[in-house]
């Protein structure tokens, strides 16, 4: 089978676009899912960082203040030594024997203030007395003039310094104050404190923080690994200067190098450090921090609070995944909804088509019903018309029967009148003769005349009786004796049949027709035959009967002039006659045929090859009344 290519054309682009959609949709959805997941992750991380930095801001403030208070609580201590006379005596007279007293005083003060050491230097920077005078590594007699805190304090400025002790190698915070007497600086009082407690406190609180000094070197850190590392790159010149000052003793002062650094705002950074542990693949773990830095009051130092971003990252990742999954779910839902919408649309279209087909069907049914009703009405009308026509026909038939009878009576009346006139004339003559014979006394002759008159009167009675029975309107039902009917007919036609030779070849049968009607039919048939044989020198009439099925066929054949072919077509039409003048009405055959049909029989014509005409009357047979009476 060949397809029309034009029919395929609109289908191909639809299939193609559906194929493209099906091929492109999954990667597109995956791409969008990943993209939205990433976006979700970033948004969540940014929001988290903002929240964290707000919380961190408060934490930063809190812990920075703690550091500030820890540092500032020792600030006043060096200046207190100005009030101690022994200290000023020692400084003004180093060999005056005050050293021991000052040493002991400083020792007690140091113990009470829980500082690391308290010592006094003369203006040349040599240690004159110290709290640790008993220790082997005591500062006593040490020249610390190179220390910056001394140089600042001897100039009358507050000396602040974080460094590693050149004697003990121990890190500490040095606070120095120039001791004045009479407006002149006579020496410098120094207190060394350890800030380890801060570190310990941070560690206990699991806080990640560090303090960097003016050189950017981390001097305090919750993580010991970060201690004495620089937070910013140090130039070789700075490194050399710091080495010369021995501020950090001989520490290499490496730079604290994060794996990644991102400045988020002023004083807020995102730093990623390698973690101490390793992950399952053996790669060093990374730890990201939110670093918030604030300058500490009264010092050139900075406090940095590190807030780990691991939890935030995990949370953001979960949220990113959730966003991706939600998108995937929404997409699946949208696809499912779309598919369902399509199915519903298809169903709706099918239902609409069905409804349309239904309504069309109903419309057609209504139209057909209307047509049928109309044709029914038409048929009813036709039936009414037919019934009316039938009634009219029946009426016409009855009229015809009656007219036929009247015509027959008319025809007969002439012959009857003739028949009756003859006996009447004979009666008149005979009665006159009889009177005369009686007057003469010829009784024999008179009685013979009277007998003849009697016979004549009987004959006249028979003639009038047959006329009465003929004129009476019969009905369709009844039984007739064929023999009786033939006899009655012959009697009616007696005066015309005399010179005709009659062949009687039938049985006496009982037929399902009114006796009078059968006689009417026979009078017509025999009358016509006699008319046809009028010019025949040897007229002959055959009455032949035979049983055929449930009917009896009586054939009335004559040797008359026959019927010419043109006349044969119109034989049974009313008022068709070939007889001249008042001799024929043209109703005899029509009437006879209708009477035969009414009795469920037939009347037909035959044209024998030997000449003449034969009319065949077929009527249903019935059981003779005598046979019916027999069982009684
Ligand atoms: P009518 O006798 O008044 O003419 P019918 O109906 O009896 O009316 O007959 C119609 C015609 O049929 C007759 O006029 C006659 O021409 C023809 N016909 C009838 N019977 C015979 C017959 N036996 N032989 C020849 N012609 C006949």
Residue 612 and residue 520 share a domain: yes
Task: Find the 572 Cα to ligand 1 centroid distance in Å.
Answer: 9
Strand, coil or helix: what is 123? coil
445 or 522, which is more confident: 522
Q: What pLDDT is attached to residue 480?
A: 93
Task: Find the 585 Cα to ligand 1 centroid distance in Å.
Answer: 10
Q: What pLDDT is attached to residue 416?
A: 58
Tell which of 435, 452, 471 closes a domain.
471
- C-alpha–C-alpha distance, residues 320 and 41, integer Å: 4
Crossing angle for the helix pair 588-598 and 310-440, to the nearest 10 degrees? 120
Residue 464 and residue 519 share a domain: no
- C-alpha–C-alpha distance, residues 130 and 132, integer Å: 5
Taking the CA of residue 562 as reference, the ligand 1 atom at the shortest distance is 25
Tell whether the model's pLDDT for residue 507 goes beyond 80: yes
Residue located nearest, by CA, to atom 14 of ligand 1:
577
With cut-offs at 50, 70 and 90, classify the pLDDT of residue 7: very low
263 forms bridges with which residues in the sheet?
269
Whether 619 maps to a domain, the answer reads yes
Residue 438 and residue 417 share a domain: yes
Residue 552 and residue 516 share a domain: yes
Whether 292 maps to a domain, the answer reads no
Whether 404 maps to a domain, the answer reads no
Residue 223 CB neighbour total at 10 angstroms? 16
Taking the CA of residue 615 as reference, the ligand 1 atom at the shortest distance is 23
Per residue, the 3-state secondary structure of 27-95, as one string, reads HHHHHHHHHHHHHHHHHHHHHHHHHHHHHHHHHHHHHHHHHHHHHHCCCCHHHHHHHCHHHHHHHHCCC
The average pLDDT across 284-290 equals: 79
To which H or E segment does residue 188 belong?
strand 184-193
Pocket test for ligand 1, best of 497, 531, 572 (most atoms within 8 A of CB): 531
Length of the chain: 632
Angle at CA of residue 393, ends 391 and 398, nearest 5°: 95
Residue 514 and residue 453 share a domain: no
Tell whether the model's pLDDT for residue 607 goes beyond 50: yes
β-strands 501-505, 540-548: how paired? parallel
Task: Find the 415 Cα to ligand 1 centroid distance in Å.
Answer: 19
Strand, coil or helix: what is 426? helix
Tell which of 128, 159, 193 closes a domain.
193
Whether 104 maps to a domain, the answer reads yes
Pocket test for ligand 1, best of 528, 530, 612, 616 (most atoms within 8 A of CB): 528
- Tell me what percent of the chain is helix, strand and coil, each rounded to the nearest 5: 55, 20, 25
**Starting at the edge strand that comes first in sequence, how are the strands of the sheet with 159-164 ordered?**
127-130, 117-122, 184-193, 171-181, 159-164
Whether 201 maps to a domain, the answer reads no
Q: Please count the CA atoms within 13 angstroms of the CA of 69 that sit on its side-chain side.
A: 5
Any residues with CB less than 8 A from the CB of 491 and at least 6 apart, and which? 462, 463, 466
Query: How large is the C-alpha radius of gyration of the chain?
Result: 80
Token pair in block for residue 602: 């037939």
Residue 547 and residue 447 share a domain: no
Task: Find the 516 Cα to ligand 1 centroid distance in Å.
Answer: 21
Task: Find the 578 Cα to ligand 1 centroid distance in Å.
Answer: 7
345 or 83, which is more confident: 345
Task: Find the 615 Cα to ligand 1 centroid distance in Å.
Answer: 11
Closest by Cα among 322, 316, 323, 319 to 52:
316
pLDDT tens by residue, 20-75: 877 888 888 888 888 888 888 888 888 888 888 888 888 889 888 988 888 888 88
Token pair in block for residue 174: 């040095």
Task: Find the 515 Cα to ligand 1 centroid distance in Å.
Answer: 23
Q: What pLDDT is attached to residue 73?
A: 84
Whether 176 maps to a domain, the answer reads yes
Closest by Cα among 136, 134, 117, 228 to 176:
117
Taking the CA of residue 525 as reference, the ligand 1 atom at the shortest distance is 20
Taking the CA of residue 560 as reference, the ligand 1 atom at the shortest distance is 24
Task: Find the 467 Cα to ligand 1 centroid distance in Å.
Answer: 22
Residue located nearest, by CA, to atom 16 of ligand 1:
578
Q: Please count the CA atoms within 13 angstroms of the CA of 476 that sit on its side-chain side.
A: 11
- C-alpha–C-alpha distance, residues 65 and 92, integer Å: 39
Task: Find the 579 Cα to ligand 1 centroid distance in Å.
Answer: 7
Alpha helices in 493-570 (DSSP H): 494-497, 515-532, 565-568
Residue located nearest, by CA, to atom 22 of ligand 1:
529
- 285 neighbors 1 (Cβ within 8 angstroms): no
Closest by Cα among 211, 206, 250 to 231:
211
In this structure, the residues whose C-beta lies within 6 A of any atom of ligand 1 are 524, 528-529, 532, 558, 560-563, 567, 571, 576-579, 584-589, 613
The average pLDDT across 148-168 equals: 84
Tell whether the model's pLDDT for residue 462 goes beyond 90: no
Closest by Cα among 100, 108, 107, 156 to 128:
100
- 177 neighbors 157 (Cβ within 8 angstroms): no
Which domain range does residue 523 map to? 476-625
β-strands 302-308, 208-212: how paired? antiparallel
Residue 185 and residue 91 share a domain: yes
Residue 492 and residue 431 share a domain: no
Tell which of 420, 447, 471 closes a domain.
471
Taking the CA of residue 407 as reference, the ligand 1 atom at the shortest distance is 3
- C-alpha–C-alpha distance, residues 575 and 396, integer Å: 13
Tell whether the model's pLDDT for residue 347 goes beyond 50: yes
Task: Find the 401 Cα to ligand 1 centroid distance in Å.
Answer: 17
What DSSP designation does 144 have? -
- C-alpha–C-alpha distance, residues 560 and 572, integer Å: 19
Q: What pLDDT is attached to residue 111?
A: 92
Q: What pLDDT is attached to residue 470?
A: 46
Pocket test for ligand 1, best of 527, 581, 589 (most atoms within 8 A of CB): 589
Residue located nearest, by CA, to atom 21 of ligand 1:
528
Which CATH number does the domain housing residue 551 bear?
Answer: 3.30.565.10
Task: Find the 593 Cα to ligand 1 centroid distance in Å.
Answer: 13
Whether 402 maps to a domain, the answer reads no
Residue 561 and residue 460 share a domain: no
Tell whether the model's pLDDT for residue 290 goes beyond 60: yes
What DSSP designation does 502 have? E
Whether 32 maps to a domain, the answer reads no
- C-alpha–C-alpha distance, residues 525 and 403, integer Å: 17
pLDDT tens by residue, 517-535: 898 899 899 999 999 999 8
Angle at CA of residue 289, ends 287 and 292, nearest 5°: 160
Please count the structural domains in the chain. Answer: 3
Residue 611 and residue 480 share a domain: yes
Residue 613 CB neighbour total at 10 angstroms? 23
Task: Find the 353 Cα to ligand 1 centroid distance in Å.
Answer: 75
Token pair in block for residue 547: 């049983």
Share of the chain above pLDDT 90, in %: 28
Taking the CA of residue 411 as reference, the ligand 1 atom at the shortest distance is 3
Strand, coil or helix: what is 476? coil
What DSSP designation does 173 have? E
Question: Average per-residue pLDDT in the chain?
Answer: 84
536 or 273, which is more confident: 536
Closest by Cα among 135, 138, 118, 240 to 179:
118
**Starting at the edge strand that comes first in sequence, how are the strands of the sheet with 551-558 ordered?**
501-505, 540-548, 551-558, 613-620, 602-606
What DSSP designation does 449 have? H
Residue 593 and residue 492 share a domain: yes
Q: What pLDDT is attached to residue 251?
A: 76
Pocket test for ligand 1, best of 577, 582, 617 (most atoms within 8 A of CB): 577
Strand, coil or helix: what is 325? helix
Task: Find the 519 Cα to ligand 1 centroid distance in Å.
Answer: 17
Q: What pLDDT is attached to residue 486?
A: 94
Residue located nearest, by CA, to atom 2 of ligand 1:
584
Which CATH number does the domain housing residue 90 bear?
Answer: 3.30.450.20
For residues 391-409, b (16+ Cβ closer than 10 Å) or e, as one string? eeeeeebeebbebbbebbe
- C-alpha–C-alpha distance, residues 153 and 176, integer Å: 6
């Amino acid at each position: 089978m060949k397809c029309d290519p034009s029919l395929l054309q609109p289908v191909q682009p639809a299939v193609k676009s559906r194929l493209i959609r099906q091929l492109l949709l999954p990667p597109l959805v995956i791409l969008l899912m990943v993209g939205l997941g990433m976006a979700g992750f970033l948004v969540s991380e940014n929001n988290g960082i903002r929240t964290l930095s707000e919380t961190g801001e408060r934490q930063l403030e809190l812990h920075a203040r703690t550091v500030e208070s820890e540092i500032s609580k020792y600030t006043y201590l060096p200046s207190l030594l100005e009030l101690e006379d022994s200290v000023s005596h020692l400084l003004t007279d180093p060999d005056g024997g005050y050293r021991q007293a000052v040493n002991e005083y400083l020792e007690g003060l140091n113990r009470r203030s829980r500082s690391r050491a308290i010592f006094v230097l003369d203006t040349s920077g040599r240690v004159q007395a110290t709290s640790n005078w008993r220790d082997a590594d005591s500062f006593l007699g040490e020249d610390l003039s190179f220390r910056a805190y001394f140089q600042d304090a001897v100039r009358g400025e507050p000396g602040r310094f974080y460094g590693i002790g050149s004697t003990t190698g121990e890190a500490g915070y040095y606070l120095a104050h120039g001791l004045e007497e009479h407006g002149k600086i006579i020496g410098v009082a120094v207190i060394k404190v350890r800030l380890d407690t801060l570190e310990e406190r941070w560690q206990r609180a699991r806080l990640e923080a560090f303090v960097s000094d003016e050189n950017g070197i981390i001097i305090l850190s919750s993580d010991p690994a970060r201690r004495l590392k620089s937070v910013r790159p140090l130039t070789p010149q700075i490194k050399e200067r710091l080495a010369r000052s021995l501020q950090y003793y001989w520490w290499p002062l490496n730079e604290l190098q994060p794996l990644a650094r991102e400045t988020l705002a002023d004083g807020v950074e995102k730093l990623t450090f390698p973690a101490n542990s390793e992950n399952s693949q053996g790669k060093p773990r990374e730890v990201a921090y939110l670093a918030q830095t604030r300058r500490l009051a009264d010092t050139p130092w900075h406090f940095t609070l590190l807030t780990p971003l691991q939890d935030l990252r995990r949370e953001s990742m979960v949220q990113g995944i959730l966003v991706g999954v939600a998108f995937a779910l929404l997409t699946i839902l949208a696809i499912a909804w779309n598919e369902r919408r399509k199915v519903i649309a298809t169903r709706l279209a099918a239902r609409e088509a069905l409804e349309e087909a239904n309504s069309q069907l109903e419309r057609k049914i209504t139209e057909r019903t209307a047509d049928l009703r109309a044709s029914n009405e038409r048929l009813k009308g036709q039936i009414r018309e037919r019934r009316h026509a039938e009634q009219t026909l029946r009426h016409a038939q009855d009229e015809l029967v009656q007219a036929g009878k009247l015509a027959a009576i008319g025809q007969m009346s002439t012959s009857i009148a003739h028949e009756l006139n003859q006996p009447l004339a004979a009666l008149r003559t005979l009665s006159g003769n009889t009177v005369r014979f009686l007057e003469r006394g010829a009784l024999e002759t008179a009685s013979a005349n009277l007998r003849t008159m009697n016979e004549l009167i009987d004959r006249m009675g028979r003639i009038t009786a047959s006329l009465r029975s003929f004129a009476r309107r019969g009905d369709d039902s009844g039984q007739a004796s064929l023999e009786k009917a033939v006899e009655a007919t012959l009697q009616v036609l007696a005066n015309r049949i005399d010179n005709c030779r009659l062949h009687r070849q039938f049985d006496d049968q009982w037929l399902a027709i009114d006796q009078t009607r059968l006689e009417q039919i026979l009078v017509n048939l025999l009358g016509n035959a006699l008319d046809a044989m009028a010019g025949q020198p040897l007229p002959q009439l055959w009455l032949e009967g035979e049983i055929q099925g449930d009917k009896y066929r009586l054939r009335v054949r004559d040797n008359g002039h026959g019927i010419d072919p043109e006349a044969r077509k119109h034989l049974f039409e009313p008022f068709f006659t070939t007889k001249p003048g008042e001799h024929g009405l043209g109703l005899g055959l029509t009437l006879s045929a209708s009477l035969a049909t009414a009795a469920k029989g037939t009347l037909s014509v035959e044209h024998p090859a030997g000449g003449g005409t034969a009319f065949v009357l077929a009527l249903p047979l019935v059981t003779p009344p005598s046979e019916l009476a027999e069982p009684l």
